């Protein structure tokens, strides 16, 4: 209570101009008015700037783009959405969603042990250490992290150097020769792109899982042990189901962030486009805002479905 | 009331778990360490490993680059402006949402999260399309408006969490002692919220300072630091400068983040919440 100077309050109360008291009283009695005053600026901001923009985008996705004049006219058409089903565009969507799913699963698999150790075993200074050690890379600059991997994965870089020293070059070449995964070198393969994505988004998975595990009461696990469950059993039947909302919460980030990214696909991996690159190219180089807009509707719909599902699984309580 | 003491006599982690956990940390830090290492590399162009030698001269070279300094300055200005907006909007929202139930509360909650839950490219292109419709050409303020929109959630989250832990009886006691709403806010609520506001502001600042994807759409020809870095990636001649700037960027965000962490740590118990 040391923040409260008890003697100071009454005296300042007496010396205060009466109008502030009058205003305070009105606001206190009319709760709705008070609420409206608080909410008006944020609602205006989000309503006008954010939702307004999203709406503008949605409307433009129905505009007509003329291939010959390269101009946009406000005539409504379904052509942009029909074009999404073209084989080439279809491929882009599948490629992006597939990568997002793979990155999400990998982040959960790699991140879970870290989160589990942080929540259940790290104590004292170790707990703080782990928390900072996950948080700093999470907040570290996105572009620097992406850049660092272009350095690491390039031919002559440290990974190739290490692989050569360990005489594993044939193994790496074998992996890179595989379809889908491979490519001419690590930095131009889907494997490389997948590595970078997993690296960049993994902290967003670790922290929600850690929070979820931390909230599982220890005595539940003790009870499971008392009832004769082996550690693996109580992990599988008690801890994992209770921690799962944390995994789903983390997956919202890993999935959504991969779905919309266009920088990493541009820096690392094979030539095939992602949704984000398509949006960027359509808008920037071609000036086809309607097609770019209809492309962005795809991740909006996917994320919308995903959020609905996540809500059912209780992920929002774990955020 | 920290739980650390109790857990100290808890079970020790099995070796395989410790290996996986520390392995994960190594994975998270290795690339960052590599960038730090390359910043001292004597060789000018390639990424080749092992490094050729140690030098500090790129740090000096980078400090003399006008374009780098201009980008840093712009980024700082944008971050400050968007943090200021986020602080105001975020704390208003937190004040409105932390206790009351009303129609549309869920929708408001979602609206705050949406700008970071939806991929950045959507926010970016939506803003760009709206600016074009409104015939606003990209400038400093279009960048800041975009940043503020997704920074609000940082302030909101921090402040609302703090307010929820603050017992309402404190505010009632203040009213009983004769303070009006403004005085209660000034002398009771604000001191309790102060570190949460600061931490939220720092996180908003860090988020804005580093944002790239939304910025590429709203920046026009302006170059924030992340955009400058992105532009450099195709230029072999500037590699050493790029490495140095990368290290700077890391430091500029790491320090505030550590401060924010210190500020929110150990605030599980807000003063007065024990009764």
Q: Check the CA dihedral B69-B72-B76-B82 and report its sign.
A: positive
For the segment A6-22, the average pLDDT, to the nearest whole number, is 58
CB contact under 8 Å between B119 and A260, yes or no, is yes
pLDDT score at B4:
46
Nearest CA among B214, B20, B186, B165 for reference residue A142? B214
* Cβ within 8 Å of residue A290, ≥6 positions away: A60, A61, A62, A63, A64, A65, A72, A80
Q: Which two tokens stand for residue A267?
A: 């820096």
Structure tokens at A90: 């279809």
Q: How confident is the model at residue A52 (pLDDT cuts 50, 70, 90)?
A: very high
Q: Which residue has the higher pLDDT, B9 or A86?
A: A86
Contact criterion met (CB < 8 Å) for A13 and B178: yes
Question: Which ipTM score applies to this complex?
Answer: 0.85
Min Cα–Cα distance to chain A from B82, Å: 13
Q: What residues of chain A lie within 8 A of the CB of B108, using their CB?
A: 39, 42-43
Position A133 scores a pLDDT of 93
- Are the beta carbons of A143 and B242 separated by less than 8 Å? no
Which residues 6+ apart lie within 8 Å of A124 measured at CB?
Answer: B4, B8
C-alpha A98/C-alpha A239 separation (Å) is: 29
Write down how long chain B is. 275
- Closest residue on chain B to A110 (Cα): B24
Average pLDDT over chain A reads 86
Average pLDDT rounded to a whole number, residues A167-185: 85
Sorted by sequence, the CB contacts under 8 Å of residue B193 that are 6+ apart come out as B91, B159, B162, B163, B166
Return the top range by mean pLDDT from A7-11, A130-134, B164-168: A130-134
Which of 10-39 (B) contact A at CB < 8 A? 10-13, 17-18, 20-21, 24-25, 27-32, 34-35, 38
**Residue B241 contacts residue B68 (beta carbons within 8 Å):** yes
Mean pLDDT (whole number) for A178-195: 87
User: Residue B213 and residue A118: Cβ atoms within 8 Å?
Assistant: no
Residue burial B110-120, b: 16+ Cβ < 10 Å; e: rest: ebbbbbbbbbb
Q: How far is B247 from chain A (nearest CA, A)?
A: 8
More confident of the two residues A199 and B56: A199
- Check CB contact of A290 with chain B, cutoff 8 Å: no
Average pLDDT score over residue span B16-45: 88
Neighbours of B161 (CB within 10 A): 16
In angstroms, what CA-CA distances link B103 with A81, B109, B156, B257?
35, 12, 19, 36
> Are A45 and B89 inside 8 Å of each other by CB?
yes
Residues in CB range of B143: below 8 A, 6 or more apart: B78, B215, B218, B219, B222, B224
Q: Indicate whether B3 pLDDT > 50.
A: no
Distance from CA of A180 to the nearest CA of B (A): 24
Cβ of residue A245 closer than 8 Å to a chain B Cβ? no
Taking only residues 208 to 227 of chain A, the set having a beta carbon closer than 8 angstroms to any beta carbon of chain B reads 218
User: Are A49 and B182 inside 8 Å of each other by CB?
Assistant: no
Q: Residue written as tokens 């009454």? A: A10
- In tens, the pLDDT along B74-119 reads 999 999 999 999 999 999 999 888 877 788 888 888 888 888 888 8
CB proximity list for B31: less than 8 A, separation 6 or greater: A145, A148, A149, A152, A199
Three-state SS sequence of chain A: CCCCCCCHHHHHHHHCCHHHHHHHHHHHHCHHHHHHHHHHHHHHHHHHHHHHHHHHHHHHCCCEEECCCCEEECCCCCHHHHHHCCHHHHHHHHHHHHHHHHHHHHHHHHHHHHHHHHHHCCCCHHHHHHHHHHHHHHHCCHHHHHHHHHHHHCCCCHHHHHHHHCCCHHHHHHHHHCCCCCCCCHHHCHHHHHHHHHHHHHHHHHHHHHHHHHCCCHHHHHHHHHCCCCHHHHHHHHHHHHHHHHHHHHHHHHHHHHHHCCHHHHHCCCCCCCHHHHHHHHHHHHCCHHHHHHHHHHHHHHHHHHHHHHHHCCCHHHC
Give A81 or A318, the one with higher predicted confidence.
Answer: A81
Which CB contacts under 8 angstroms, 24+ apart, belong to A118-121?
A118/A206, A118/A210, A118/B21, A119/A209, A119/A210, A119/A211, A119/A213, A119/A214, A120/A213, A120/B10, A120/B13, A121/B10, A121/B11, A121/B12, A121/B13, A121/B17, A121/B18
- Asked if the bond preceding B220 is cis, omega within 30° of 0, the reply is no
- This prediction has a pTM of 0.86
The Cα–Cα gap between B41 and B56 comes to: 8
CB pairs under 8 A between A and B: 285
Q: What is the DSSP string of B170-197?
A: HHHHHHHTT--HHHHIIIIIHHHHHHHH
Q: Coil, strand or helix: which one is B41?
A: strand
State how far the Cα of A129 lies from the Cα of A126, in Å rounded to an integer: 5
Contact A190, A180 (CB under 8 A): yes
Q: Which residues pair with B54 in a beta bridge?
A: B41
Q: Are strands A64-66 and A71-73 parallel, antiparallel or unpaired?
A: antiparallel
- Chain B residues with beta carbon closer than 8 angstroms to that of A206: 24
Give the model's pLDDT for residue B225.
92
**pLDDT above 70 covers what percent of chain B?**
91
**Alpha carbon distance A108, A131 (integer Å):** 17
Hey, what are A245's tokens? 């909302």
Tell if the CB–CB gap between B180 and A20 is shorter than 8 Å: yes
Nearest to A56 among B130, B174, B188 (CB): B130
CB-based contact A309:A301 (threshold 8 Å): no
- Tell me the mean pLDDT in the region A39-65: 90
**In this structure, are residues A108 and A251 in contact, taking their beta carbons and an 8 Å threshold?**
yes
**Residue A31 and residue B229: Cβ atoms within 8 Å?**
no
Measured between CA atoms, the residue of chain A closest to residue B261 is: A132
Has residue B146 got a pLDDT over 90?
Answer: yes
Touching check for B266 and chain A: CB below 8 Å?
no
Question: Do the Cβ atoms of B261 and A54 come within 8 Å?
Answer: no
Is there a contact between A50 and B178 if contact means CB atoms under 8 Å apart?
no
Give the range among A102-116, A298-312, B15-29 with minimum mean pLDDT: A298-312
Does A265 lie at the interface with B, CB-CB under 8 angstroms? no
Candidate from A3-7, A144-148, B82-86 with smallest mean pLDDT = A3-7
Report yes or no: B257 and B203 within 8 Å, Cβ to Cβ: yes
From chain B residues 172-191, the ones with a CB under 8 A of any chain A CB are 174, 177-183, 187-188, 191
pLDDT tens-place string over residues B117-131: 888 899 999 999 899
Chain A nearest C-alpha distance from B53 (Å): 15
A232 and chain B in contact, CB less than 8 A = no
Q: What three-state secondary structure class fits B54?
A: strand
Tokens of A270: 């094979």
Among A153-162, B98-107, B259-268, the range scoring the smallest mean pLDDT is B259-268
Share of chain A above pLDDT 90, in %: 37
């Amino acid at each position: 209570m040391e923040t409260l100077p008890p003697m100071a309050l009454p005296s300042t109360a007496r010396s205060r101009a009466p109008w502030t008291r009058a205003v305070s009283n009105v606001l206190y009695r009319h709760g709705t008015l008070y609420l409206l005053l608080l909410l008006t600026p944020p609602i205006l901001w989000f309503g006008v700037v954010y939702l307004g923009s999203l709406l503008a985008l949605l409307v433009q996705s129905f505009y007509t783009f003329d291939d010959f004049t390269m101009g946009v006219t406000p005539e409504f058409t379904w052509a942009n959405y029909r074009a999404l089903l073209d084989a080439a565009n279809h491929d882009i969507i599948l490629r992006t969603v597939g990568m997002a799913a793979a990155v999400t699963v990998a982040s959960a698999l790699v991140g879970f042990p870290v989160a589990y150790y942080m929540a259940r075993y790290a104590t004292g200074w170790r707990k703080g250490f782990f928390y900072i050690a996950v948080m700093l890379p999470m907040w570290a600059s996105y572009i620097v992290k992406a850049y660092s991997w272009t350095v690491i994965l390039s031919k002559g870089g440290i990974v190739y150097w290490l692989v050569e020293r360990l005489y594993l070059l044939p193994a790496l070449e074998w992996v890179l020769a595989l379809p889908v995964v491979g490519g001419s070198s690590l930095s131009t393969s889907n494997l490389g792109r997948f590595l970078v994505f997993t690296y960049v988004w993994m902290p967003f998975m670790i922290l929600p899982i850690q929070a979820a595990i931390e909230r599982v009461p220890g005595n539940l696990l003790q009870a499971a042990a008392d009832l004769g469950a082996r550690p693996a059993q109580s992990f599988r039947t008690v801890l994992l189901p209770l921690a799962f909302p944390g995994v789903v919460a983390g997956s919202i980030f890993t999935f959504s962030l991969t779905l919309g990214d266009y920088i990493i696909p541009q820096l690392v991996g094979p030539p095939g486009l992602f949704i984000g690159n398509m949006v960027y190219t359509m808008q920037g180089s071609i000036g086809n805002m309607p097609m770019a807009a209809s492309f962005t509707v795809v991740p909006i719909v996917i994320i919308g479905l995903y959020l609905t599902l996540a809500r059912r699984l209780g992920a929002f309580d774990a955020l | 009331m920290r739980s650390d003491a109790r857990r100290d006599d808890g079970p020790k982690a099995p070796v395989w778990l410790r290996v996986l956990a520390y392995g994960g940390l190594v994975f998270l830090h290795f690339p960052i360490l590599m960038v730090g290492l390359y910043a001292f590399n004597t060789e000018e162009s390639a990424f080749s490993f092992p490094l050729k030698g140690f030098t500090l001269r790129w740090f000096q070279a980078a400090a003399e680059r006008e374009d780098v300094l201009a980008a840093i300055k712009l980024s700082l200005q944008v971050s400050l402006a968007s943090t200021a907006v986020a602080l105001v909007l975020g704390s208003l929202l937190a004040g409105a949402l932390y206790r009351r139930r009303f129609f549309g509360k869920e929708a408001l909650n979602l609206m705050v999260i949406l700008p970071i839950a939806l991929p950045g490219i959507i926010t970016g292109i939506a803003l760009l399309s709206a600016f074009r419709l409104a015939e606003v050409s990209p400038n400093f303020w279009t960048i800041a408006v975009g940043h503020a929109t997704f920074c609000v959630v940082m302030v909101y989250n921090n402040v609302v969490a703090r307010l929820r832990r603050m017992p309402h009886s404190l505010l009632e006691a203040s009213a009983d002692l004769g303070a009006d709403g403004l005085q209660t806010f000034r002398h009771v609520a604000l001191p309790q919220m102060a570190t949460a506001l600061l931490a939220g502001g720092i996180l908003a600042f860090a988020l804005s300072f580093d944002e790239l994807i939304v910025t590429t759409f709203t920046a026009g020809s302006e170059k924030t630091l992340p955009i400058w870095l992105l532009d450099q990636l195709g230029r072999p001649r500037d590699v050493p400068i790029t490495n140095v700037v990368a290290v700077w960027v890391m430091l500029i965000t790491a320090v505030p983040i550590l401060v924010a962490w210190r500020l929110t740590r150990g605030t599980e118990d807000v003063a007065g919440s024990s009764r």
